[in-house]
Amino acid sequence: MATTAPPTTAPAAAPRPVRWYNYAAYGSNDILGAGSMAVISTWVLFFYTTFCGLSAAEATLIFGVARVLDAVTSPTVGYISDRFGATALGRLFGRRRFFILAAIPLLPSFAIMWVAGQSFWYYLVTYVLFEMVYAMEIIPFETLAAEMGSDYRTKAKFAGWRIMTGQISAILAAILPGRLIGYLGKNSPDTYLYMGILFAGLFMLSATFLYLFSWERPLVAQQAAAKGGSLSPLAAIRELYRNLFSTLRIRAFRLHLGMYLGGYVSQDVFNAAFTYFVVFALGGTAVAVSNLAGLTYAVQTVAVLLAINFALRASPAHAYQIAVASFAAGILLFFGLWALGMGASGWAFVAPVMFAGLGRGALNYIPWATYNYMADVDEIVTGRRREGAFAGVMTFVRKMSQAGALIGVGQILQFAGFRAGATVQAPGTVHAIVAVLVLGSLALLGFGLWISMRFRLNPQTHATLMEEIERLRAGERGPSSPASQAVVEDLSGWRYDQLWGRNPVA
């Protein structure tokens, strides 16, 4: 097995104090991160098939093409941002924050996605364009909690502010179309265009706020030089994907991704099917969808507050398991109301909304809270900081999974005989919608639950991890105790004598 010499690393600098406005600036950017994803997962498939003349198959083809391109875009942005500190622009604007600044004038690309009556190619190009701008901004953003914070509580607070802001933007994404429909009429496609314009403006404001009140940890000089080294195009591509896949050799990150996919993709499937479920299975309207989704997101906001406190005091994995049970109960209650022939309104829907919202809010927070510690686990393996590589993988996996959910739902609807633009669907199509909502969401939740039973990162194990990192940085080569060794080996997936650069990952 090939090994490398342990890297030479300077002592860690004293952490810069994090003020409330730094937390707020970081959190505000999830108006883009979660807000855009909430709008897209809830409305874009419905918009394409209702107002744009696209079949479900054509709409899902757009998502598929975008994901193929994103297989290059997201890891490339993460890889470049890790190496950008040695460039003149990186030294002037920041190796991460430069990309945030450059993306601000491009964020109105979100609004032009929502122009009705255009061709398939128009929707393909505009969707892909926004996805590229999104990757350019969101991947550097996702590194900043690890850049600005070092201890468990600070990183948990960054995640909390982020998810709280994301929930607020998701509430807006849910209720705004309903209010616009009430003003413009249910058959007006301008509803979605105005929504796109409003969100694009909010994206620009939040990205500006983030740039002004964030920072990055200083790079060690020799580390920056190594990251900025010149490579041939072919060697750079090989290095990019070697770096990308090497993140999967960190055990805690593999488990984290499993929990992330179980929690988030179950919601993507639920969101994509929910609009059709309310309209065609329950006989409701887009306004009813907006009201129910808005109430769900409001409950999710409360759930995030509860999850923050639970994750700070106990095990994130345990909190995740409680959240899975709550969301699953909500899904089953929705199914029960359909089976009983209930409509899309009334007090009977309070219970499923409450259970689903409480579970979804916690499932949104927990993976992003644990993500902020992945670069720490990686550091004890490699002796380096690779926040950009992990952010690239996270964004790539997030967008791939969301697209997969939308493609899957769209293809199932197409196979089940869904008729674009119709006000009533055949019974077989309605049954397919219900099956996707219930069985698809529950299967993914079960996967995440199974993974969570193996995930052992918590405040205590993270503290042990950081203590061992400081020992290795100071030149020690052995663990402080057998218990510490067991913790570090469980999180990293490597033997202790292979840590700190003495492995192929480094």
pLDDT tens digits along 430-460? 999 999 999 999 999 999 999 999 999 998 9
What is the band of 40 on the pLDDT scale with cuts at 50, 70, 90? confident
Given the structure tokens 């041939």, which residue do they identify? 232
For residue 69, pLDDT over 90 is answered with no
| The pair of three-digit structure tokens given for residue 120, joined into one six-digit string | 């398939």
233 pLDDT higher than 60: no
Which CATH fold would you assign to the domain 20-457?
Answer: Growth Hormone; Chain: A; (1.20.1250)
- Give CA separation, 40 vs 111, 208, 298, 386, 389, in Å: 12, 23, 18, 30, 25
Closest CA to 387 of 231, 253, 235, 232: 253
Give the angle subtended at the CA of 486 by the CAs of 483 and 491, to the nearest 5°. 130
CB 127 within 8 A of CB 59: no
Q: Which tens digit of pLDDT belongs to each residue from 181-208?
A: 777 776 788 888 998 999 999 999 999 9
What is the rounded CA–CA span in Å between residue 453 and residue 320?
Answer: 10
Given this model, what pLDDT does residue 239 score? Answer: 67
Q: pLDDT tens digits, residue range 277-308?
A: 998 998 887 778 778 878 888 898 888 888 87
**pLDDT at site 7:** 47
User: What is the rounded distance in angstroms from the CA atom of residue 4 to the CA atom of residue 35?
Assistant: 43
Residue 368 pLDDT level (bands cut at 50, 70, 90)? confident
Least confident of 317-331, 399-413, 447-461: 399-413
Residues of the chain above pLDDT 70, percent: 91
Mean pLDDT calculated for residue range 358-371 = 89
C-alpha 152/C-alpha 463 separation (Å) is 8
Q: Please state, in angstroms and rounded to a whole number, the distance separating the CA atoms of residues 492 and 456.
A: 11
Residue 12 burial (CB count, 10 A): 12
- What single-letter amino acid sits at 85? G
Give the pair of three-digit tokens for residue 150: 């070092």
Range 475-504 average pLDDT: 95
Q: Are 359 and 327 in contact (CB under 8 A)?
A: yes
Calculate mean pLDDT across residues 79-104. 87
Side chain identity, residue 223? Q
- Reported confidence tier of residue 466, pLDDT bands at 50, 70, 90: very high
Q: Where are the alpha helices (DSSP H) in 113-232?
A: 120-148, 152-184, 190-212, 221-227
DSSP summary character for residue 206: H
Question: From CA 47, how far away is CA 114, in angstroms rounded?
Answer: 8
| C-alpha–C-alpha distance, residues 87 and 76, integer Å | 16
**Is the per-residue pLDDT at 228 higher than 60?**
no
Query: Nearest Cα to 45, choosing from 360, 331, 407?
Result: 407
Residue 110 pLDDT level (bands cut at 50, 70, 90): very high
pLDDT category, 271, cuts 50, 70, 90?
confident
Residue 2 has pLDDT above 70, yes or no: no
Question: What residue spans in the chain does CATH classification 1.20.1250.20 cover?
Answer: 20-457
pLDDT single digits (tens) 125-146 = 999 999 999 989 998 998 898 8
Per-residue exposure over 201-218, b if at least 16 CB sit within 10 Å of its own CB, e if not = ebbbebbbbbbebbebbe
Coil, helix or strand at residue 97: helix
- H or E element in which residue 353 lies: helix 350-371
Mean pLDDT over the full length of the chain: 86
- Measured at the CA of 180, the angle between CA 436 and CA 166, to 5 degrees, comes to 60
Most confident among 95-109, 222-236, 305-319 (mean pLDDT): 95-109
Q: Note the pTM of the prediction, 2 decimals.
A: 0.76
**Greater model confidence, 321 or 223:** 321
Residue 4 has pLDDT above 70, yes or no: no
**Residue position matching structure tokens 């890297």:** 7
Q: Per 3-state DSSP, what percentage of the chain is helix, strand, and coil (rounded to 5)?
A: 80, 0, 20
